[in-house]
Amino acid sequence: MPEGDTVWNTARVLHRALAGARLTGSDFRVPQLATTDLTGWTVRESASRGKHLLLRLAAPDGAHRTLHSHLRMEGAWRAYAPGERWTARPAHLIRVVLRSPGAVAVGYHLHEVALAPTAEEESLVGQLGPDLLGADWDPAEAVRRLAAHPDATIGEALLDQRNLAGIGNLYKCEVLFLRGISPWTPVRAVPDLAGTVTLAQRLLAANRGRWTQSTTGSLHRGQTSYVYGRRAQPCRRCGTAIRKAELGERVTYWCPVCQPERTRRDDAG
């Protein structure tokens, strides 16, 4: 699942494959860029901001542009050697192809694909809160943004990328379990917001550079999470069955004993 660490890793893969290369061809399979041709453009760098991926390019005339894409739940970029078969996803999910002498980058099921002047990059990602994996990570600003919505549930607030950028459903569930906080707790009732966002940053940073996301310290299959994806399995701390329920537009996993609730929630199945 693409969360901040996955997008960070993806940006590094594309940077290693394309940075400094002059593109020999491009293929955009999205209506808004269908006629765009980046042949002759140079890839300056690949970067991430939360769950957004930014490919910064230089046109032959010296103009700088940023190719933006959002991975959401299903998106992915893959880098292949020239002539290598593209096997990551079905061909009908391909949205962007970028070719260079040494690599081919293929974007699958991408969202919000756009090409904008790099100087105006903030128009693409300026609404995001502090990036947990960014060089400018600012925990105090993240806390301020969370606290500005005191009646929101902490589960929904952590997923709001305008508060802090990079947390997805996995990290939301795991952070709240480790902090002993019910997902339905109002932000105003969370005793230590600073500790919560600091833990989130530490968990994402610990998984940076690897594709297996683990919050438990184990990389073995079935042992990488405390509650996420473990409905009806015993809590690793107390043995109580992990529960799953809807929270906003997403599901959440939690332990009813380690994360006591004030209001009972029915299991979503």
* Active-site residue set: 2-3, 51, 250
* DSSP assignment of 155-207: HHHHH-TTTSBS--HHHHHHHHHHHT--TT-BGGG-S-HHHHHHHHHHHHHHH
Partners of residue 250 on adjacent β-strands: 247
Tokens 């269908």, located at residue? 34
Tokens 């990036």, located at residue? 131
Over the range 82-92, which residues count as b (16 or more CB within 10 Å of their CB) and which as e? Answer: eeeeeeebeee
**Helices 193-207, 169-179: crossing angle, 10 deg rounding:** 130
Q: What are the distances in angstroms from CA 111 to CA 5, 66, 69, 107, 108? A: 18, 15, 6, 10, 9
Element holding 97 (H helix, E strand): strand 94-99
Residue 35: exposure state from Cβ atoms within 10 A (0-12, 13-18, ≥19): exposed
**Helices 193-207, 139-147: crossing angle, 10 deg rounding:** 130
